[in-house]
Copies of this chain bind each other. A is one copy, B any other.
Amino acid sequence: MQLAKVVGTIVSTQKDQHLMGCKLMIIKKIDENGEYEKYSSNSTAIAVDTVGAGIGETVIVTQGSTARFVYGNKTTPMDMTIVGIVDEIQTSAPEVQKTL
């Protein structure tokens, strides 16, 4: 999955009927420090929100055919879904407790 930040929403009236009612968010990939990954493919993308994410939030994004399984409708032409909101990123290893 990808680590991303929600930066906007899409308004689209003329679209595939299976996308009606889907909340389309613009996401940008970030690294573990919250920096944008400008060299990454799909550094900006559109994902369907399924967890109630808002602009500015850090999210977990699933791509590919897997993305359709979240929404429950296998014929919806979506290939990217927001599947979680990130509360915290822990980048240092926990203290290893030495047991004597």
Best-buried of A52, A64, A85 by chain B (most CB within 10 Å): A64
Which of B3, B8, B15, B45 contacts A51, CB < 8 Å? B15
Q: What is the copy number of this chain in the assembly?
A: 5
A97 at the interface (CB under 8 A from B): no
Interface size on A, residues (CB 8 A): 69
Shortest distance from the beta carbon of A57 to any chain B beta carbon, whole Å: 10
Assess A14 versus B46: contact at CB under 8 Å? Given A89-B8, A92-B55: no
A positions within 8 Å CB-CB of B: 1-3, 7-16, 18-19, 24, 26, 28-32, 37-47, 50-52, 54-56, 60, 62-70, 74-81, 83-94
